[in-house]
Amino acid sequence: MMKQILIEKNVSLDDAARWHYQIILSVCDLHIVGEGMANRLKEFMQFRHFFVHSYKIDLDFDRIRELSRLSLVVFPEFFEELNSYF
């Protein structure tokens, strides 16, 4: 969703290796989401990166549970910020 918004605004994502991170920084720089939300989204991005690149035995199930619960709060707030931008 954020990537599509940036494409519509003609924002380029130059560094292919860090494009997820660039998206979060860009939407924050454009005041589409606030800095607090950007930091929360980075936390999910870091977990996603770890999850994709780790073995199942390395997973911290308490952390997974914590992020799952946090997502129930963060995602509605994220959509509120997007809606207030538009």
Q: Does pLDDT of 53 surpass 80?
A: no
pLDDT recorded at residue 61: 83
Question: Which residue stretches of 30-60 are H helix?
Answer: 35-52
SS3 label, residue 10: coil
Residue-wise pLDDT for 2-18, tens only, equals 888 888 888 887 777 77
19-39, pLDDT tens digit by residue?
888 888 999 999 999 999 999
Q: What's the pLDDT at 33?
A: 93
**Largest alpha-carbon pair distance within the chain?**
43
Nearest to 7 by CA among 25, 27, 21, 29: 27
pLDDT over threshold 90, residue 58: no
